[in-house]
Structure 1
Amino acid sequence: MNKRNRVFKFYLILIISLFVGCNEFTPDAERVDTALILKYATPAETWTEALPIGNGRQGAMVYGGALTEQIQLNENTLYSGEPSSTYKGTDVRPTYKSVMALIASEKYAEAEKIMANNWLGRLHQSYQPFGNLYFHFEGDSVSHYERSLDIGKSISAVRYNTQGVHYKREILASYPDSVIAMRISADKKKSISFKTFLKSVHPTEIVVKGNTIILKGQAPGFVLRRSLENVESNADQHKYPEIFNKDGSRKPFAKQVLYGEEVSGKGMFFEARLDIKNQGGVVTETEHGLSVSGADEVVVLLSMATSFNGFDKSPSLEGKDPGKLNEQILSTLTDKTFDQIQTDHERDYAALFNRVEFTLDTKEDHSNEYTNKRLINYAAKPDLGLNTLLFQYGRYLLISGSRAGGQPLNLQGIWNDKVIPSWNSAYTMNINAQMNYWPAEVTNLSECHEPFFRLVKELAITGKETAKNMYGNPGWVTHHNTDIWRPSYPADNAVVYSYWPMGAGWLTNHLWEHYQFTNNETFLKEEAYPLLKGSAAFFASWLVENEAGYLVTPVGTSPENRFSYDNGQSASISAGATMDIAIVRENFENVVKASKRLDVDETFRTHIEALTQKLLPYQIGERGQLQEWQFDFKETDVNHRHLSHLYGLHPGDQISKEKTPALFKAANKTLELRGDEATGWSMGWKINFWSRMHDGNHAYSIINNLFSFVNEKSAPTHGGLYANLFDAHPPFQIDGNFGYTAGVAEMLLQSHTGEIHLLPALPDAWPTGTIKGLKARGDVRVAINWKKGKLVKGVLKASKAQTVVVKYAGVTKKITLQPGEEHGLDWAFFRDSSQTN
């Protein structure tokens, strides 16, 4: 074969393989990919070095010690407090006119003081650690050690040699069997010997029966993240009767965490049940656990449950029996082998995870290097494999932490080791809770959205009461933070962080997005529309006219930011903040579209349409930026982590280059003024912003900032990633992981403008690659292959017949799709015409 023919054959095979890869949508349950493995040469020393597993309800952080193993445990309903934990004494009406008068007089700081004293509630309760599972293995010096997490199969492993024996531990969290399972094996019979026990930071009782360890406990009935001095300085003692007397003095036992009789017996009960199945050897009881000696193989099954029985029921008085729940779970596994558990687990997991594949061609393959070293070396050795790994890691965390029937992901997902965790491990609804679910639809994990929708549904119940009692308004409202008891009142302490009555609008947009991605009209009718309508009803009653006749919110904040005015004074509250109006406009437009689609509520729809026309429009400030407030105030922190006024750019769809070029330009200026430095989750948002600006290189520069190693042991001050690739705010916040995954998807596929836009923000650093399985609105699956920065081929596959507009490199074309059929298109398809068909 001559040289010319060899070259021709090479490129022919290359092109065919690329096309075949693009057309392959079918999940491959047997796929093995070393690029999807996190691995380390030493055990974890800190929590942010441990590796997470989860089944949507139970979570574990595996430290991976060879001879001494610690596995930190969580169950996602274990919270402090009870439904009665919510303070409901807040009513804005007695002071509303005074606040409005001060705002009208531009006395913002004075208005804020009144609000701080009268408009805030109290802090919500905290997500709790469940306990720890410990193993002490026999052995001496250790060699050939490695621990890993295979996110392609959702299984963690530890391997090492000691005393001439090779040991292996495999651990997984199974959604089908609702259990955490571990297999301990060795390459020599009768060589497995260890002691194991369960322990919790909470008061517990340990019972050992045969091959079973039972841990029973009760979570705190009250947890306060604030110091007692902070509560007293704010004169908030009346909001915390658990620890303060009516005269404001401290009760004798006053402290931040209360258990049992200290809080009238309140608190959630919990139980863990561990069963050991051994092949060979002897199992004996110890004082606190079990001892295994001389076994060939051991399987450990762990089930955890709580007395949680709903957001509105007391877990101490009306709770479920966690012991019975654990018995039921483990009884179904009596005759099931670890191999069978693993097979069912991997099949269930692969059905979700394998929907999306993402590869970037690179000259250097670092997948065989240890993950922490890859992260440390990233700045000197750009690692595209780490880019794709972190993208898929976000999908792994979403599947592991959010499954149907469970609780939604909080600030730490389902993984937390602290009784008083950072920000209570809350659902923070001025971006963070929502960011957790940004990847759900676009990365083809719609099922994982379900727990979030249930949170919205439950908040609408408590929020209806809050709207009535706090405001005297119809509909439902929720503020900045909530927990498992679904409080919808504001939190305490400071207006800038706590007063933000816009949560319902942002939350319900997720319901509309789910409908757009799935075309599920039953969901729209039965789930989404009633909640959209309820939030719109509140906003319609909350709006007021400004002096120019536009409708604005009467008072609010641009989340967590402050502005300066009147020769150096600062405040956080004003009327008509830009984000307020963006959320109201989006909510109103969604309600109108849903009402028309369902052909219901014409009178209400007409009313909302009329209000929408009167909303305050976006405004551009003297610096060319999109204004953050109704007036062109200067922010007190020019690099503030929140960019709330750009909500209409992302996650909203009100600002785009084609529809609103002037606002698009102003949004670009806003991003430039804020700068690229940010905390971890804020970097995630900025990746999405720059993707929507179609600036892939700038988005990638933010990505490079995010891939900065953060060492928990050195008191970090900058955002980035911990050794286990958890997002560092710092401290750990899981929303940054999801923001990154969603941002990468936005770089490669956008559909929010009504067009399916291929490679809208492809960076120069990713010249050649493939992604398949992403979703566009309209329930269209998309595969894209590109080389040297140019589209090679795209494939679209729709669930129903429809005509879509596809865009690439500034050219748009209409395509008619048939259900289940793959429609391929390449660069020549767009090159042949520069006009929309």
Structure 2
Amino acid sequence: MNHVLLTAAILAAGLTASAQRPDATLRFNEPAAHYQEALPLGNGKIGALVTGHPVRDRIMLNEISVWSGGVQDADNDTAYRILPRIRESLLAGKNKEAQQLLQQYFICKGQGSGHGSGANVPFGAFQTLGDLTLQWKDTTSPWTGYLRTLNLENAVARAVWQRNGSTYTQETIISIPDNILAIRIRSSRKGGISFTAALSRKEHATVRANNGLLEMTGQLPNGDQPGLKFAGVLQIKTTGGKQTTGDGVITVDNADECLLLFSAATDYNMNDYTQRLEDPLPRVLQTVKRLSGRTYAQLYASQQNGYQPLFNRSRFRLSATAPGTDTASTPGRLARYYAGEPDPQLPVLYYNFGRYLLIGSSRPGNLPANLQGLWAPEYQTPWNGDYHININLQMNYWLAPITGLQDLSEPLHHYIRNLVTPGSRTAKAYYNAPGWVAHVITNPWGFTSPGEGADWGSTLTGGAWLCEHLWEHFRFTRDTAFLREYYPVLKGSAEFLKAILIEEPEHGWLVTAPSNSPEHSFIMPDGTRASTALGPTIDMQICRELFGACIEAARILDADAEWSRELAAVRGRLAPNRIGENGDLNEWLHDWKDGEPKHRHVSHAYGLHPYDEITPWSTPELSAAIRETLRQRGDDGTGWSLAWKINFWARLGDGDHALTLIHKLLRPVPPQNPRGGGSYPNLFCAHPPFQIDGNFGGTAGIAEMLLQSHGDTSVIRLLPALPGDAGWQKGTVKGLHARGAFVVDMNWDKGKITQAAILSQKGGVCRVLLPAGKSVAGGKGAVVAKPANETRIVEFETVKGAKYTIQ
């Protein structure tokens, strides 16, 4: 086919060869050979990775609750008896001895996570649902003119190619309202579509043809016991040609157009994970039957109604462009950007992609996004695809409140509450303490025990860190009904921490014991290398944050006045942040050497981000210490580590350094030989392997560069960490959210705000760092704050629903 006809065919398919938005389109010039090149689609329940191959198209399927394993009793019920001995060893400076006792008595019963390979043990693993494959009949003729795109503005994956004079267009969507995956295949030649469709799973599944449908059903293992049941159903509707079903496949011959519908479910019970729902197959059949009478246009309209209002809540745009980025492939753009060529739209694309992924992997009423969101082709996912709560699950949701997706945090909030009951048992078993605790790893089955390794599994503030998301949700929304509902969860976590604090002998500070700084070790003056310690800095920061949140929540709700006063007294005795002799922030109670000077975790910087007790304007000495800490740790790291560092440097107001980390996060990583952190060709974050937390953390970091509102008084700061790079000097952003229930839109030019608008969602006092020469006007034009010659903080009372302009 000549170029003119090819262009016409692509235009007819709804695509253009040269005018795709470089800030909202992933583009490939060949089919995906690895899943890290495939196009991800999702609705928070069903996920798909589409390879778009013209010979054998593999669509990797997921359902967010497809987990092996099940509920287990992993607590060592007598562990608390050894707790005094462990603490005695720590107080005596015998950290290695304490760690040995931990490993002997203070780990979980059984196999734990299976050392990260828990698919066939009770802990379980998030697993692929299986594959949908389309085997095309004409496999000998070559294809040409191939183009594969993912449009983030409408959540549509398309593949277009030519073969034997025909243009083929394959378009795939997953609908939020309808819970259906739909694939429309068209040919420019009548009768040009012939393929065989199959559902498959390598284990624990049966596929059968039934009444023209394909049904895949199965049951995953729970150790050596039966576990969760799942079901998936495929229907194909054709225009022209004929369709036959048999031997577990559906064959289409000489059709003009095809519409494939797929849905899936499990018997996982979101309301009570200890019980199971009824057989999922009838529910899935009902969904497919209900939608089988709809046209693709109707399904598409429903899908757009579910997706676009979420995606369009926030849009970030930079005015600068670079030649060729609207026609270049995404892998090509990554390579050129990393080589130093300008592409200001690539970070914008990454921001949009992160929000797209959260919309696709987290929906109310379902489980939260896991280590891989919900996109996994494996039966044994890396680290079980589980919920690591020493940063990873938390990082998944950093972007939600600030980028207008706070309602998508509901799965996380619900999940946290589900940890309270098992966490209460764990608190009793190991610490003989009230309240609830969760350690480092957890799953949909309520696992809250320590892990199977004392060097990493005994971190005891994972659940308390999760509670930060409950408090932050309130800070962003001022939703007192939400706070009242979740206050008992916050209080229970605080009660646990309050009960397990002990007094360290040197200063009389209160510290956690035993614990560790996530996944890191230290070297004591006598050369002892260990991980178990008293009061690591992150624990103390989390305690201060959680206790402070509970005290403020009790005041707002007019509850627990006496308990609140007791908590305030305890909070005042917590071990403080301390600066070491090298000018960095101590990671442990003592100024010990790092076991790994370039370690990927920078946990003691928690007080800078996500907590806000350390800020450049309120604690300059501690901020300088964290800056030195970050310098010592270096700018390299795994994908999620690079993402966290973007947030650190943004909070320090250093946009240039944050952009350096963005550049590193966008380092191209080849799927066939992944080494070092960066991004795969489809922009999935490379730990490696793939972990989605880097995508979410990177998006949050970009948002922090554009807007901040943390600190004791929640002052709104516009462009607090805008890089000096020329490509960032002119742009717009809308729909960023600030603490206090404010929504901010702004425009800037030459690195300076030209105009901004602040919408007050709940009323109340607004504080904003007003740029020099700018004024604030109310909804009816009344001047709220007059211009001044210098940047200053202005404070004004707002009316619910009113908008205030800065110009």
- TM-score, normalised to structure 1's length? 0.88
Q: From 725, 732, 735, give the equivalent of 1:770.
A: 732
Are 2:780 and 1:822 equivalent residues in the alignment? no
Number of the residue aligned with 1:642:
601
Kindly state the Cα deviation for residue 572 of structure 1 after the two structures are TM-superposed: 0.4
- Are positions 1:81 and 2:81 aligned together? no
Contact kept, 8 Å, 2:46 with 2:62, in 1: the verdict is: yes
Query: How far apart, in 2, do the equivalents of 1:808 and 1:314 lie?
Result: 53
Gaps of 5+ in 1: 1-30, 223-262, 827-837
Distance 2:270 2:175 in 1: 23
**Structure 1 position 669 matched with structure 2 position 598:** no
Find the aligned partners of 1:32 and 1:529 in 2 and give their Cα distance. 47
Distance 1:304 1:613 in 2: 52
Cα distance in 1, alignment partners of residues 183 and 624 from structure 2: 54
Amino acid at match of 1:751: S
Distance 1:77 1:568 in 2: 46
More off after superposition, 33-42 vs 296-305: 33-42
User: Do residues 517 (structure 1) and 476 (structure 2) align?
Assistant: yes
The answer on 1:49 being equivalent to 2:37 is yes
CA–CA separation in structure 2 for the residues paired with 1:376 and 1:91: 55
Instruction: Quote the offset at 1:105 in angstroms.
Output: 1.7
Q: Please give the alpha-carbon distance, in whole angstroms, between the structure 1 residues aligned to 2:598 and 2:78.
A: 34
Task: Give the Å deviation of 1:194.
Answer: 0.9
Does 2:680 match 1:722?
Answer: yes
Alpha carbons of structure 1 residues 804 and 542: separation in structure 2 relative to 1, 3 Å: same
Which of 512, 517, 532 does residue 553 from structure 1 map onto?
512
Letter paired with 1:127 = F
Partner of 2:79: 92
Aligned match of 2:132: 133
Q: Secondary structure at the match of 1:145?
A: strand
Quick check: 2:76–2:106 contact (8 Å CA) kept in 1?
Answer: no
1:294-309 counterparts in 2 under 5 A? Answer: 294-309=254-269
Structure 1 position 706, deviation (Å): 1.1
- The aligned residue for residue 233 of structure 1 is none
- CA offset at residue 32 of structure 1? 8.7
Q: How many residues align?
A: 749
Of 433, 449, 452, which aligns to 2:393?
433
1:311 and 1:485 in contact (8 A); partners too? no
When structure 1 is superposed on structure 2, of 355-364 and 270-279 the one drifting more is 355-364
Query: After alignment, is 739-748 or 139-148 more displaced?
Result: 139-148
Amino acid in structure 2 at the alignment position of 1:131: G
**Helix, strand or coil for the counterpart of 1:668?**
helix
Contact preservation (8 Å) 2:87, 2:513: yes
Which residue, 368, 375, 378 being the options, matches 1:408? 368
Per the TM alignment, residue 808 of structure 1 is displaced from its structure 2 partner at its CA by: 4.7
Distance change in 2, residues 1:584/1:32 (3 Å): same
Q: In the alignment, is residue 350 of structure 1 matched against residue 308 of structure 2?
A: yes
SS in 2 for 1:614: coil
User: Helix, strand or coil for the counterpart of 1:476?
Assistant: coil
Deviation string, structure 1 residues 765-823 (Cα, Å, up to 9, x no partner): 11111111100011111012111111111111111322211115552222443332322
Deviation at 1:566, TM superposition (A): 3.3
What letter matches 1:792 in structure 2?
T
2:252 partner SS: strand
1:250-261 aligned within 5 A: none
Q: How does 1:425-574 map to 2 (within 5 A)?
A: 425-492=385-452, 494-526=453-485, 528-547=486-505, 548-574=507-533
In the alignment, is the contact (CA less than 8 A) between 2:20 and 2:326 conserved in 1? no
Matched, 1:274 2:257: no
C-alpha distance in 1 between matches for 2:676 and 2:533: 31
Partner of 1:583: 542
Identity of aligned residues (%): 38
In the alignment, is the contact (CA less than 8 A) between 2:22 and 2:349 conserved in 1? Answer: no
Whether the 8 Å CA contact 2:135–2:197 is kept in 1: the answer is: yes
2:742 corresponds to: 780
Correspondence for 1:251: none
Displacement of 1:702 in angstroms is 0.8
Counterpart CA distance in 1 for 2:660 and 2:756 is 26
TM-fit CA distance, 1:90: 5.0
Deviations 1:463-482 (A, max 9, x none): 01111222211101000010
**8 Å Cα contact 2:641-2:694 kept in structure 1:** yes
Letter in structure 1 aligned against 2:677: G
Q: 3-state DSSP class of the match of 1:219?
A: strand
1:659 equivalent among 611, 618, 640: 618
Shift of 1:658: 2.0
Structure 2 residue identity aligned to 1:283: Q
Listed as ranges, the matches of 1:40-189 within 5 Å are 40-84=28-72, 86-121=73-108, 122-123=112-113, 124-139=123-138, 140-189=141-190
Does residue 1:325 correspond to 2:283, yes or no? Answer: yes
Deviation of residue 532 (structure 1)?
A: 0.5
Q: Residues of 2 paired with 1:376 and 1:286: CA distance?
A: 46
Deviation of the 1:734 alpha carbon: 0.4
Report the secondary structure of 1:805's partner residue. strand
RMSD: 1.5
Please state how far the C-alpha of 1:108 moved relative to its aligned partner: 0.8
Deviations 1:314-345 (A, max 9, x none): 67xx4421111102211221321111111111
Tell me the CA shift for residue 282 of structure 1. 0.7
Cα shift at 1:655: 0.5
Q: Measure how far apart 1:313 and its partner are.
A: 4.9
Aligned partners of 1:150 and 1:156 also within 8 Å: yes
SS of equivalent residue, structure 1 residue 625 = coil
Distance in 1 of aligned mates of 2:408 and 2:502: 38
- Give me the TM-score of the superposition, normalised by structure 2: 0.91
Query: Do residues 198 (structure 1) and 199 (structure 2) align?
Result: yes
Give the secondary structure class of the aligned counterpart of 2:399.
helix
Deviation per residue, 1:385-441 (Å, 9 max, x gap): 111000010000000000011110111110111122111101000000000000000
User: How far apart are the structure 2 equivalents of 1:363 and 1:97?
Assistant: 63
Shift of 1:147: 0.9
Q: Which stretch shifts more, 390-399 or 467-476?
A: 467-476
Offset at residue 666 of structure 1 (A): 1.1
Displacement after TM superposition at 1:33 (Å): 4.4
The answer as to whether partners of 1:50 and 1:63 remain within 8 angstroms in 2 is yes
CA contact 1:211–1:277 (8 Å) conserved in 2: no
* Structure 2 CA distance for aligned equivalents of residues 197 and 801 of structure 1: 56
CA distance in 1 between counterparts of 2:380 and 2:625 reads: 41
Counterpart of 1:341 in structure 2 is 299
8 A Cα contact 2:758 2:804, kept in partner: yes
Contact 1:83 1:312 in 2 (8 A): no
For 1:811, the equivalent position in structure 2 comes to 792
Q: Is the 8 A contact 2:177 2:306 kept in 1?
A: yes
For residues 69 and 150 of structure 1, the distance between their equivalents in structure 2, rounded to whole angstroms, comes to 19
Q: Which residue of 1 aligns with 2:642?
A: 683
Is the contact made by 1:311 and 1:484 (CA closer than 8 Å) also made in structure 2? no
Amino acid at match of 1:504: G
